[in-house]
Amino acid sequence: MSRLLCIALMMFTLPVLATENHYGPRLEGFEYPFTVDYFQFDSQGQSLEMAFLDIQPETPNGQTMVLLHGKNFCAATWEGTIQFLTENGYRVIAPDQVGFCKSSKPEHYQFSFHQLSANTSALLDHLAVERYSVMGHSMGGMLATRHALLNPDKVQQLVMVNPIGLEDWLAKGVPYREIDGWFQNALKTNAESIRNYQKNTYYAGTWQPEYDQWVEMQAGMFRGPGKEIVAWNSALTYDMILTQPVVYEFKNLQVPTLLLIGEQDNTAVGKNLAPKDKQSELGNYPKISQQVADQIPDATLITFKELGHSPQIQTPDKFHQTLLENLRRY
C-alpha cells in the first residue's frame, strides 16, 4: 500500500474534532443572526449596557412582542421565533438581560426580577414602546411574570414557554446553596456537561445537529478569557432564581396568559442537591403547569406531550403555529 494511500485512509478514519470556540465575557466572537443594538443606562451606581434585538416586520400588524430569554439562553436563541413573528407582522424586541450574553456583566449587582423588569422597562421607554405582549422562556418566564405583575397597564398578553418557577424549590426540599458554591460549580461548565443536560432536559432525550450552536454559544464563554466573571454572574442569578419565587403570585396576574408547555421537561433548579426521596417530586411539568393554570384568572394551557424544555427549538413549526393561533390581537 502506498504511503499516500495510508495517509488518506488515516485521515478518513480518524474522528473529526469539533472546533472549540473561545468567546469573550460578553459573547465577543459569537455572531447573532440579527443586528445587535446597545442601550446604555445607569443602574445601582454604575454605567451598564443591555444588548438587544429590535426587528421590524415588512408588513406591520401594529403588534409588538417582547421576548425574554432563559438562564442558559440568549436573545439569539429566539432566532426561529423572531423570524416567524416578524413574518406575521409583529415587531419583535429581544434583550439580553444584564449579566447574560452580550450585555454587561458587573462584578457587583443586586440581581432581582424586579430589577431586571425595571431594566427592561427602561429599554422599552427608550424605544418609545407603550403597549406590548411579553413572552418568556425558562427563567424568562419568571421575569415575564414579574414584569406583567408590575406593568398590567402596559402588558397586553403574557406568554410563558416552559417557565421555571412554577414551584418553590426551597419549600419542596432543595437546600440553599451559597453563591460561592454556585460560582465553583459554574467554573466546571464545559460543552459535554451542557450537551448532556440539554439533551435530557431541553429536547426529551433527542438531539439534532442544529442544537450544537447553542451548546457552543454557552460553552465558549466558559472557555474564554472572561470565564470567571461569566461564572460569577451565573452564580448571582442562580441565587436570584432560587430565592425569589413567583409561584405565590400567579393568582394576582391581571393579563390574559398563555402557557405553552413541553411535558417531558423535568427542570428544577437545585434538584440534584435535594434529598433522593424529594427529587422525584420536583420538575413534574404536567402537574405543576396545571396547578399554575388553575391559579391564573385568565389562563390558557396548551401542552406538547412529546416535547421537552425548549419546544420552540425542538419542533418550531408546530410550536409557532400553535402560538400564532393563540395570540390575541389588540
- CA 271 to chain CA centroid, Å, is 18
Predicted TM-score (pTM) of the model is 0.93
Residue-level pLDDT at 307: 98
Mean pLDDT taken over the chain: 94
Please say if the pLDDT value at position 47 is more than 70: yes
Q: Which three cell numbers stand for residue 230?
A: 461569566
Residue-level pLDDT at 179: 98
State pLDDT tens for residues 147-169.
999 999 999 999 999 999 999 99
Give the percent of the chain with pLDDT over 70. 95
Where are the chain's structural domains?
33-326
Please say if the pLDDT value at position 260 is more than 70: yes
Residue-level pLDDT at 20: 87
User: What is the end-to-end Cα distance of the chain in Å, rounded?
Assistant: 74
State pLDDT tens for residues 92-142.
999 999 999 999 999 999 999 999 999 999 999 999 999 999 999 999 999
Given the C-alpha cell 417582547, which residue does it identify? 66
pLDDT band of residue 329 (cuts 50, 70, 90) is confident
CA distances, 126 to each of 97, 130, 144, 285 (Å): 15, 10, 19, 37
Residue-level pLDDT at 18: 53
Q: Report the alpha-carbon distance of residue 296 to residue 157 in Å, rounded.
A: 13
Q: Report the alpha-carbon distance of residue 22 to residue 154 in Å, rounded.
A: 40
Please say if the pLDDT value at position 189 is more than 50: yes
Fold of the 33-326 domain = Rossmann fold (3.40.50)
Please say if the pLDDT value at position 284 is more than 60: yes
Q: Which three cell numbers stand for residue 102?
A: 452580550
State pLDDT tens for residues 137-151.
999 999 999 999 999
Residue-level pLDDT at 215: 97
Which residue type, as a one-letter code, is found at position 142?
M
CA distances, 243 to each of 209, 232, 246, 285, 312 (Å): 35, 17, 10, 20, 27
Average pLDDT over residues 73-79: 98
Residue-level pLDDT at 50: 98
Please say if the pLDDT value at position 311 is more than 60: yes
CA angle 177, 49, 110 (to 5 degrees): 30
Please say if the pLDDT value at position 13 is more than 70: no
